[in-house]
Structure 1
Amino acid sequence: MLFGMVCALGSALCFGAATVYQAAASRAAAPGTGGGIDPGLLWRALRQWRYGVGLALDGAGFVLEVVALRSLPLYVVGAALAASLAVTAALASRMLGVRLRGAEWGAVAAVCAGLGALALSSGAEGHGTGPEALPWVLLAVAAGVPALGAAGGRLPDRPRALVLGLGAGIGFGVVEVAVRLLDGVRPADPALWALLLGGGAAFLLLTAAFQRGAVTTATAGMVLGETLGPAAAGVFWLGDRTREGFAWSALTGFAVAVAAALALARFGEPPPAGDPAPAPAPGVSGR
Structure 2
Amino acid sequence: MICALGSAVCFGTASVLQAVAARATAPGTGSGVDPALLLRAVRQWRYVAGLALDGLGFLLQIVALRSLPIYAVGAALAASLAVTAVVAARLLGVRLSGTEWGAVGVVSAGLAMLGLASGAEGDETGSTTLRYVMLGVAVAVLLLGALAGRLPDRGRALALGLGAGCGFGVVEVTVRLIDDVSPGALIANPAAYALLVGGGAAFLLLTSALQRGSVTAATAGMVIGETIGPALVGVVWLGDRTREGLGWLALLGFGVAVAGALALARFGEAPEGERAPAGEASEAGR
Q: TM-score surpassing 0.5?
A: yes
Partner amino acid for 2:230? P
Is the counterpart of residue 81 in structure 1 residue 98 in structure 2?
no
3-state SS of paired residue (1:72): coil
Aligned-pair CA distance for 1:124: 0.8
Q: Which runs of 5+ in 2 are unaligned?
A: 278-286
* Equivalent residues of 1:36, 1:205 under 8 A apart: no
The 5-angstrom pairing of residues 75-114 of structure 1 reads: 75-114=71-110
Paired residues, number: 271
- Kindly provide the CA deviation profile for residues 94-136 of structure 1, in whole angstroms up to 9, marking residues without a partner as x: 2222111111011000000000000000101101123330000
The equivalent residue for 2:223 is 223
Which stretch of structure 1 is more off in the superposition, 168-177 or 29-38? 29-38
The equivalent residue for 1:15 is 11
Task: Report the Cα distance in structure 2 between the residues aligned to 1:38 and 1:146, rounded to whole angstroms.
Answer: 12
Q: Which runs of 5+ in 1 are unaligned?
A: 276-287
* Equivalent residues of 1:74, 1:231 under 8 A apart: yes
* Equivalent residues of 1:161, 1:212 under 8 A apart: yes
TM-score with structure 2 length normalisation? 0.93
Q: After TM superposition, which residue ranges in structure 1, 4 or more long, deviate above 4 angstroms? A: none
* Equivalent residues of 2:23, 2:276 under 8 A apart: no
Task: Report the Cα distance in structure 2 between the residues aligned to 1:267 and 1:224, rounded to whole angstroms.
Answer: 16
Task: Report the Cα distance in structure 2 between the residues aligned to 1:135 and 1:33, rounded to whole angstroms.
Answer: 37
- Kindly provide the CA deviation profile for residues 12-45 of structure 1, in whole angstroms up to 9, marking residues without a partner as x: 0000000000010000011002354322111000
Partner amino acid for 1:130? G
The equivalent residue for 1:285 is none
Task: Report the Cα distance in structure 2 between the residues aligned to 1:38 and 1:189, rounded to whole angstroms.
Answer: 29
The equivalent residue for 2:239 is 239
3-state SS of paired residue (1:47): coil
TM-score with structure 1 length normalisation? 0.92
The equivalent residue for 2:168 is 172
3-state SS of paired residue (1:241): coil
RMSD: 1.1
* Equivalent residues of 2:33, 2:150 under 8 A apart: no
3-state SS of paired residue (2:240): coil
The equivalent residue for 2:49 is 53
Task: Report the Cα distance in structure 2 between the residues aligned to 1:230 and 1:140, rounded to whole angstroms.
Answer: 15
- Kindly provide the CA deviation profile for residues 190-249 of structure 1, in whole angstroms up to 9, marking residues without a partner as x: 000000000001110011000011111111101100001110000000000000000010
* Equivalent residues of 1:37, 1:146 under 8 A apart: no
The partner residue of 1:181 within 177, 180, 198 is: 177
Is the counterpart of residue 34 in structure 1 residue 30 in structure 2?
yes
* Equivalent residues of 1:36, 1:164 under 8 A apart: no
Task: Report the Cα distance in structure 2 between the residues aligned to 1:123 and 1:213, rounded to whole angstroms.
Answer: 40
Task: Report the Cα distance in structure 2 between the residues aligned to 1:111 and 1:69, rounded to whole angstroms.
Answer: 20
The percent of aligned pairs where both chains have the same amino acid is: 70
3-state SS of paired residue (1:124): coil
Partner amino acid for 1:166? L
* Equivalent residues of 1:35, 1:152 under 8 A apart: no
Partner amino acid for 1:80? A
* Equivalent residues of 1:35, 1:149 under 8 A apart: no
